[in-house]
Structure formats: C-alpha cells, structure tokens
A and B are shown apart, each in its own frame.
Chain A
Amino acid sequence: AQSVTQLDSQVPVFEEAPVELRCNYSSSVSVYLFWYVQYPNQGLQLLLKYLSGSTLVKGINGFEAEFNKSQTSFHLRKPSVHISDTAEYFCAVGSSNTGKLIFGQGTTLQVKP
C-alpha cells in the first residue's frame, strides 16, 4: 500500500523568504511523485513531477523538489516566495501500475507581506 504524509498543515512565511514544504511517502514499489497547488475555489494544478532520472525536479512558478529515496521524501522548495503563492499544496504518490494517485492531507502556505 502507498501513503503520503505532509508534515506541516500550515506554513506561514514572509514575502521574499525561502520556504520548504515537507512530504514523506511510503511505497513497496517504484513510485512517481507529484506536487499540486490548489488556489481557493479552483481545481488542482500540477506544479512538478518526478518520474525518473535526476532527483532534482524543477517546476512552474520557481518551485523545485528533490527526490530522496533513502529518506523516502520529496520536499518542495522555493527560494523566494510571493504573496501570490498563498495556496494549498498537495504532495501525491502515483502507482506504477494503475496510475492512481494517493494524496497527502495538504499544506497551507500563507505568505505574509
């Protein structure tokens, strides 16, 4: 069985500061990892994904994530956040055979001026 744990339910940060949103996963098979962002009253938008290859993955809006197999982590980072980054962020693990995604509980990023 696969599972995802997002270690922080809320992350407050000041504008232009760096941020890291933490994600740990559990899986007995090869995994594919994703980060999605959800703005209020909208659906989920794909930020970035890890399928294979380089463990450092760059996504949209200046976000990046690093796949760490030994620590079963896939933390999301941004060196300098903007007010517009305020949203809910979801980490997800994908099944290698069905394509089904299992989502974490989400982390609310609150960027303060």
Chain B
Amino acid sequence: EAGVAQSPRYKIIEKRQSVAFWCNPISGHATLYWYQQILGQGPKLLIQFQNNGVVDDSQLPKDRFSAERLKGVDSTLKIQPAKLEDSAVYLCATSGQANYGYTFGSGTRLTVV
C-alpha cells in the first residue's frame, strides 16, 4: 500500500509569514494526526482527526495554527503568522485501527528565520 504523503519536504519562511502543509493519508485510514517535532525532542501531538471531525486539538496553538481535513481524506495544517519557535518538523500520521500504531509520513521541515 502507498504510504502517507506529505508536502513540501522543506520550507523556509520569514517570521510573520504564513505557511501550509499538506498530508495525504493511506487509503481507508480514518484517523489522522499532526505532530510537531522540535529538534532534539520527541513528537508532540497537535491535532487528531477521526474522519473529518476533530477529536483532540488541546495542544494546538489556535491563535496561529489551524487544520482541516476535508471529506475525511487529505488534511492541511496552516500557521499564520509564523514565529521563530515554530521551526520544527511537522509529521502527519494515520491509523486504520486505534492502538495499532501509526504510519508516519516523511515530514515537512519548517525553518522560520
């Protein structure tokens, strides 16, 4: 089966600019997650979708971050405006069955300068 696709792979923006990341999950995977991985740290959950509904967005900085999952398939994560501390790798993961582990995409490395 095809893996989780993410784009772009790399992005460099200036602070206060906006940026968007895209994720295409494995076909049929109902659950989709966005994680933020800051250099030297483990991934931290930002938001969890079940189909096109939000299950958990308690760790999402909603003043600047937003995410959507249209039609329960592809998802986009947006940051507006970006701050220096948003520099990180943004990982998308999907799961077909809860608690069976995720499949991760390769991530988008964001550098805010």
The answer to whether A46 and B99 touch across the interface, beta carbons within 8 angstroms, is no
Number of interface residues of B (CB under 8 A): 27
Q: Specify which chain B residues have a CB less than 8 angstroms from the CB of A41 in the assembled complex.
A: 106, 109
Q: Specify which chain A residues have a CB less than 8 angstroms from the CB of B67 in the assembled complex.
A: none
A-B contacts counted at CB < 8 A amount to 63
CA distance A45 to B91 in the complex (A): 12
The answer to whether B106 and A49 touch across the interface, beta carbons within 8 angstroms, is no
The answer to whether B42 and A106 touch across the interface, beta carbons within 8 angstroms, is yes
* A13 CB → nearest B CB, Å: 20
Residue A84 CB within 8 A of the other chain: no
A-side binding surface: helix, strand, loop or mixed? Answer: strand
Within 8 A of A (CB), among B53-81: 55-56
The answer to whether B45 and A100 touch across the interface, beta carbons within 8 angstroms, is yes
Which positions in B face A, CB cutoff 8 Å? 4, 6, 31, 33, 40-45, 48, 55-56, 91, 93, 95, 98-107, 109
Supply 13 further A-B pairs (C-beta < 8 A) apart from A98-B98, A101-B45. Answer: A41-B106, A43-B6, A43-B105, A44-B104, A46-B102, A49-B101, A98-B55, A98-B56, A99-B98, A103-B43, A105-B41, A105-B42, A106-B41
